[in-house]
C-alpha cells in the first residue's frame, strides 16, 4: 500500500497535461470565442468552428493551450475521436469531423472534473505544433459500413457472447445497436437478425431513452424487426446514459440496468451505438465481477477494435488502444479514491492489482446504489452456481 501511495503521489505531481490555475494569456491567441453550451456528456461546446480553427493553422495532432474563463488552463491535443486520447484524458474534439468543437474529457464529464460553464471565454493557443501527432496517427481509425469487407455478420455487427471465465454460457451478449438506424447505418439490421438467431429476450440499450427507442422502432426502417417483439413484451430498457464513468448519473443508470437484468428473463443483449465505450465498460464490469483474468478482459474488450477498426492483435496500435482505454476503465473501477484527481493524474503510472478486480467491480456497483443482495442476485443469473 505504501508503494502504491508513493506512485499515486508521483503520478499527480509530475503530470502536466491537466488543469492549472494561471493568469489568463492574452498573447499567442489563435482562435477565441465562448462556451455556447454544455452538452449531454458534460463537454464545453465552442462558439467557433473547425473551419476557423483550420484557418488559424491548427491541425489534428497539435497540442493546444486552452483557456476557459479567467483562470482555468489545460494543455490538450486536437483530435477527431475520444478514443485517440484515452479514457479520462482531456482534448479538443471535432468528433467524426462534424460541424462542432468541444472541450472534453474522454469517458468523463469535463464540467464535473475540471469546471467551466456556458458563457465562459474560450481561447485556443498553440502549446506544441504536432506535439501529439505520433499518438494521433497511431490511434486514429475509421471503419467501413460495407458488409462485403467483413468475414461474418457477427464481426460486422460487433455481436458476440460474453464468454470469459466465470460467466454462464449463453446468457450475456454485446453488440452494436439493433435499434438506432440513424447512427448505426446498415449494421443495425444485422444486429437485429443476430438477436433473433440467439433468442435474445431482454435488451439493455445504454444509449437511447425509452421514448427514442419507441420512435426508432415505429419507423419504416425497423418494420418487422425482432427487437420490436422485445419492446412489445416490456423487455427493453432505454437508459439514455452519458459516458462519464465516474459520474453518479452514469452509475444510477448502471444500477437500473442491473435491476432490469434481475427482473427480466435472459438471454440479455447489452449495447450502446457502436458497442464500444459504454458497452465496453459494462462488459468489463460484469466480466471482472465474475472473476475474469486480466488477459481475458483485454481480449474481449479489444475484440471490438478488431471487428470494427480491423486492428491487429499485438501491434503497437492495438496495445496503445488497450492501454489508453480498456485498461484505464479498469483503473477507474479499481481506484475510486483517485476520481477527484482525474484531470491531473497520469493513469499510466497507477498499477492494476489483478487479484482485486472482482472486489473492485463489486465496490463500484455498491457505489452505484446497488445492494449486496442485488449484486448476489445478478451473479446468480450471469455466473454458474458455485
Q: What does the pLDDT read at residue 12? A: 46
d(CA 204, CA 262): 12
The CATH classification number of 17-139 equals 2.40.30.90
- Is the pLDDT confidence value at 18 over 60? no
Whole-number Cα distances in Å, 143 to 149, 182, 184, 273, 287? 10, 16, 12, 14, 26
Polymer length in residues for the chain: 386
Whole-number Cα distances in Å, 334 to 50, 338, 353? 37, 9, 8
Give the SS3 label for residue 361: helix
Look at residues 116, 109, 6, 29 and name the one whose alpha carbon lies nearest to residue 71: 116
d(CA 129, CA 61): 8
- Is the pLDDT confidence value at 234 over 60? yes
d(CA 123, CA 71): 11
Q: What does the pLDDT read at residue 1? A: 46
Q: Average of pLDDT values for 241-259? A: 94
pLDDT tens per residue, range 50-79: 999 999 999 999 999 999 999 899 999 999
3-state secondary structure 216-236: HHCCHHHCCCHHHHHHHCCCE
| Euclidean distance between the first and the last CA atom of the chain, given in angstroms as a whole number | 31
Three cell numbers written together for 113: 472534473
pLDDT tens per residue, range 282-323: 999 999 999 999 999 999 999 999 999 999 999 999 999 999
Q: Average of pLDDT values for 351-357? A: 90
d(CA 120, CA 208): 30
Q: What does the pLDDT read at residue 385? A: 64
Is residue 25 very low, low, confident or very high in pLDDT (cuts 50, 70, 90)? Answer: very low
Look at residues 166, 178, 43 and name the one whose alpha carbon lies nearest to residue 111: 43
Q: What does the pLDDT read at residue 19? A: 45
**Cα angle: 194, vertex 195, 200; to 5 degrees:** 145
197: left (phi over 0), alpha (psi -120 to 50) or beta: alpha
Cis status of the peptide bond prior to 267, with omega within 30 of 0:
yes
Give the SS3 label for residue 88: coil
Q: Kindly report the pTM of this predicted structure.
A: 0.88
Q: Indicate the domain borders of the chain.
A: 17-139, 147-382
What is the separation of C-alpha 211 from the centre of its chain, rounded to a whole number of angstroms?
23
Three cell numbers written together for 377: 442476485
208 DSSP 8-state letter: S
Residue 238 pairs in a beta bridge with 205
Report the percent of the chain where pLDDT is more than 90. Answer: 79
Q: Do 17-139 and 147-382 show the same overall fold? A: no
When the pLDDT of each residue in the chain is averaged and rounded to a whole number, the result is 91
Three cell numbers written together for 41: 456528456
Look at residues 60, 228, 26, 54 and name the one whose alpha carbon lies nearest to residue 138: 60
CATH number for 147-382: choose from 3.40.50.2030, 3.90.190.10, 3.40.50.10490, 3.50.50.60: 3.90.190.10
Amino acid at each position: 500500500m505504501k508503494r502504491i501511495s508513493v506512485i499515486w503521489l508521483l503520478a499527480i505531481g509530475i503530470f502536466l497535461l491537466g488543469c492549472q490555475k494561471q493568469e489568463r494569456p492574452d498573447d499567442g491567441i489563435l482562435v477565441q470565442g465562448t462556451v455556447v453550451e454544455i452538452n449531454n456528456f458534460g463537454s464545453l461546446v465552442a462558439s467557433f468552428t473547425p473551419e476557423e480553427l483550420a484557418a488559424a493553422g491548427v491541425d489534428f495532432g497539435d497540442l493546444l493551450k486552452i483557456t476557459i474563463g479567467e483562470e482555468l488552463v489545460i494543455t490538450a491535443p486536437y483530435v477527431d475521436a475520444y478514443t485517440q486520447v484515452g479514457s479520462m484524458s482531456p482534448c479538443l474534439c471535432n468528433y467524426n469531423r462534424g460541424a462542432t468543437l468541444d472541450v472534453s474529457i474522454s469517458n468523463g464529464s469535463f464540467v464535473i472534473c475540471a469546471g467551466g460553464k456556458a458563457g465562459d471565454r474560450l481561447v485556443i493557443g498553440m502549446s506544441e505544433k504536432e506535439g501529439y501527432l505520433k499518438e494521433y496517427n497511431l490511434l486514429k481509425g475509421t471503419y467501413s459500413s460495407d458488409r462485403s469487407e467483413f468475414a461474418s455478420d457477427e464481426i460486422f455487427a460487433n455481436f458476440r457472447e460474453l464468454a470469459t471465465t466465470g460467466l454462464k454460457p449463453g446468457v450475456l451478449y454485446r453488440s452494436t445497436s439493433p435499434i438506432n438506424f440513424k447512427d448505426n447505418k446498415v449494421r443495425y439490421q444485422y444486429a437485429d437478425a443476430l438477436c433473433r438467431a440467439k433468442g435474445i429476450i431482454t435488451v439493455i440499450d445504454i444509449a437511447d431513452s425509452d421514448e427514442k427507442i419507441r420512435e426508432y422502432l415505429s419507423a419504416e426502417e425497423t418494420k418487422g424487426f425482432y427487437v420490436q417483439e422485445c419492446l412489445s413484451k416490456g423487455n427493453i430498457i432505454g437508459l439514455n446514459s452519458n459516458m462519464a464513468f465516474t459520474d453518479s448519473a452514469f452509475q444510477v443508470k448502471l444500477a437500473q440496468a442491473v435491476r432490469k437484468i434481475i427482473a427480466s428473463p435472459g438471454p440479455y443483449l447489452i449495447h450502446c451505438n457502436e458497442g464500444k465505450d459504454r458497452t465496453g465498460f459494462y462488459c468489463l464490469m460484469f466480466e471482472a465481477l465474475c472473476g475474469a483474468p486480466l488477459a481475458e478482459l483485454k481480449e474481449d474488450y479489444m475484440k471490438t477494435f478488431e471487428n470494427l477498426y480491423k486492428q491487429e492483435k499485438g501491434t503497437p496500435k492495438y496495445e496503445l488502444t488497450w492501454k489508453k482505454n480498456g485498461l484505464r476503465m479498469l483503473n477507474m473501477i479499481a481506484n475510486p479514491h483517485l476520481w477527484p484527481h482525474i484531470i491531473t493524474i497520469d493513469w499510466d503510472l497507477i498499477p492494476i492489482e489483478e487479484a482485486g478486480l472482482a472486489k473492485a467491480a463489486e465496490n463500484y456497483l455498491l457505489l452505484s446504489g446497488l445492494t449486496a443482495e442485488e449484486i448476489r442476485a445478478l451473479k446468480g443469473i450471469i455466473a454458474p452456481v458455485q
